[in-house]
Amino acid sequence: MSEMSKKIKLYKLIEHVGIEYIFVAEKIVHYAESNLEKKLNPSLLLILADHISNAISRVVSGIQINNVFLEEIKALYKAEYAISRDALTIINEQFSVQLPDDEIGFIALHILNNYENSVDYESVRIIELSQKITELIEVVYNRRVDRSSFNYFQIYDAP
């Protein structure tokens, strides 16, 4: 793709998303970088702005997408989860909406997959593996694991 094509695509995305979403995404990216003390890829700004725009559109339309990885993200990526929870508060206040808590997990995944100089996207694979391990525990012990319980978080709590 030529440099001009990239610029045109970028301008179209900005036009589609709306500047107000970019401003909120910028606030969230700066907040995340300062709290995580890590640099995030510049592309996260537009990715997050687009996500926020689409999430709000879905809620307004009455469409909800459940995040099946939410409890695993909460257990495995505590810092990113906490930042994403704060980001959700910022979004809800800024746009006078009430996005579901599932969005915390989606925002956390965007952050996890956009650490600067990070070429491995292991976060989703780790979460999927954690989910499979939990399912295996459920099958072996013939019991349902409460994914919001203290015991569940202890399984994945890293020292």
Contacts of 55 (CB under 8 A, 6+ apart): 91, 99, 103, 106
Give me the pLDDT at residue 159, please. 45
Give me the pLDDT at residue 78, please. 93
Contacts of 139 (CB under 8 A, 6+ apart): none
Cβ-contact 81, 104 below 8 angstroms: yes
Confidence band of 153 (pLDDT split at 50, 70, 90): low
- Say how many CA atoms lie within 13 Å of 35 toward its Cβ: 17
Give me the pLDDT at residue 54, please. 92
Give me the pLDDT at residue 61, please. 93
Q: pLDDT tens digits for 110-134?
A: 999 888 765 545 556 666 666 667 7
- The residue ranking higher by pLDDT, 19 or 154, is 19
Look up the CATH superfamily of 3-156.
PRD domain (1.10.1790.10)
Region of residue 117 (phi > 0: left; psi between -120 and 50: alpha; otherwise: beta):
left
What span, in angstroms and rounded, lies between the C-alpha atoms of 92 and 140? 41
Q: pLDDT tens digits for 66-102?
A: 888 899 899 889 999 999 999 999 999 999 999 999 9
40 strand-pairing partners? 115
User: Hey, what amino acid is at 20?
Assistant: E
Q: pLDDT tens digits for 17-75?
A: 888 999 999 999 999 999 999 999 888 998 999 999 999 999 999 998 888 889 989 98
